A and B are shown apart, each in its own frame.
Chain A
Amino acid sequence: MTHTVTSRPPTLFDNVIAETPGKALNLHACLQCGTCAGSCPSGPDMDHSPRAIFAMLDAGMDDEVLNSNTPWFCVSCYYCMVRCPQEIPITDIMYTLKRLAIKEGYYQEDKAPEFSETFCDFVEHNGRSFELGIAMRYHLRYHPLGAFKMAAGMGLHLFRKGRMDLTPSRIKNVSQLKSILNKAKELGGAA
């Protein structure tokens, strides 16, 4: 892929690299070998394989990239990342694409950002998460039918086994956590 040296406004390709910790610069060296696509367990559900996403990024197809459901179907298994011959931090790039899609108001697959947002909201207020409570609240808020299904089925099983809390636990120093997160938000911008 091309190296960009001229002065011009940053493209989505540049932003992705800038916003990804780790060796994201390696994205310039993508060979389009498709090892990532072949390793991806949720590949069949994606609009574009990770390989295609990188080609589209390079081609400046920003809208298509940010609209794609690809990052939202990434299960964070890191197979692509350990297999990539160019050591591109692919999983981390998928997270960056999610953040940029939210920031730019894109995303096709609406459930995933809602779930993540419910989770974050919870953690910010309590310092702890409890996955089952979060799942329930998320379903209640966005997919009431799903909440009913969950409560009547799996939720009940887990509750009976003593594996489901009804109230979240809370850390002692929530105010400290809030100061840290607020400062981080101020420094980090939206992405």
Chain B
Amino acid sequence: MKYSYYPGCSLEKNARSYHVSTMAIAKSLGIEFVEVEDWNCCGATEYISIEKVPAYALVTRNLALAAEQNGSTNLVAPCSACYLNLKKADHYLGENVDLRQKIDLALEAGGLSYQPGSLNVQHLLEIIAVDIGYEEIEAQVKRPLFNLRVAPYYGCLVPRPAAMGSFDDPEHPTSLDNILKRLGATVIDFPLKAQCCGGHMTQISEETALELLRRLLKNAADYKADMIATLCPMCQLNLDAYQDAVNAHFGTDYKIPIVYFTQLMGLAFGLPADELGFGSEIVSARPALEKITLEEPKPARTRERGKKKTDLPLPTRPEEG
């Protein structure tokens, strides 16, 4: 399968391990990524706070380039913010005639044009979970992640907003859970899986951000997660690089490594850890990875509990994936 690929600025340096591991698993899964040539920044959440038309023009230049270069009509972004911005621009330009006319004129000034709806903007998680599918993922697993307790963390911008047609539930997404289960990992219940990491608040109001980060780390620690698997460079950076600050601020002692789900996929596919960007995380993933065993852990006791008559009549968790 062939996709146009928009890496985004984070994947160039800060989230290099996300890019490297994505390319590594693409090979195993038979995916071909064609990078959009000369792509520019999507504007993150900043540009739209200052000026509307230039913000949409900035994003749409990428859509125009991707459509013109014609690598594929499916455009994939691994970064949540890039994904949302690209998808939102495509969606709103199709809906809002006034904005569309202005963007058309702006692009024309650079010799470009874009017809809304001509690309299908997808997040990396979507193509792996939906286009590739769980069976194919499981078929590639050579070294299952037995005994590794992973918290699946989706953040905000991939599951929401659903108005543009999300592939997963906006509040209770399960696709990443399912992928990690197929890798053999023990996926913990992670009620805050789609809560916010604070985004750029670490720069603007650190206390606001630290509280949001503390909640996530506490939730993962309460459920005895060995690590948190993420799909967004911003979430990874905040949880990883500010974990020290959270500990200092709240007097806690969290040491939860934050890795990209693609790194765990690569590991389970039997690829060497150093080719997947492991080691670039600030809270080392090594102690957690050493917990991986060759034998499958015994099924969790929680399932048996539902059968006891003394329990409250709560709905049982459906079997997934």
Contact = CB atoms under 8 A, between A and B. Distances in A.
Contacts of B112: 176, 180
B109 A75 contact: no
A123 B318 CA distance: 46
B157 A76 contact: yes
8 contacts: A79-B160, A81-B163, A82-B160, A91-B161, A120-B50, A128-B40, A163-B13, A164-B13
Contacts of B16: 162-163
Interface string A151-172: 0011001100111110001011
A42 B102 CA distance: 34
Contacts of A115: 46, 200, 203-204
B205 A111 contact: yes
Interface stretch (A6-14, A47-55, A56-64, A129-137): A129-137
Interface string B173-213: 00000000000000000000001101111011101100010
A191 B203 contact: no
A94 B13 CA distance: 30
Nearest to A95: B48
Interface of B: 9-10, 12-16, 38-41, 43-54, 56-58, 61, 92, 95-96, 99, 102-103, 105-112, 156-157, 160-163, 170-171, 195-196, 198-201, 203-205, 207-208, 212, 237, 241-242, 244-245, 279-282
Interface in A67-96: 72-73, 75-79, 81-82, 87, 89, 91, 95-96
Nearest to B198: A75
Given A45-B207, A189-B53, 8 more contacts: A45-B208, A78-B161, A95-B52, A96-B52, A102-B50, A115-B46, A165-B13, A181-B54
A3 interface: no
A13 to B, nearest CB: 18
Contact of B9 (A78, A87, A129, A172): A129
A99 B50 contact: yes
Given A127-B41, A180-B61, A191-B52, A111 B95 contact: no
7 closest cross-chain pairs (CB), A and B: A188-B53, A183-B109, A184-B57, A77-B196, A78-B160, A184-B106, A119-B46
A182 B107 CA distance: 10
Interface in A103-149: 109, 111-113, 115-117, 119-120, 123, 127-132, 135, 138-139
Contact of B241 (A95, A111, A158, A183): A158
A135 B237 CA distance: 13
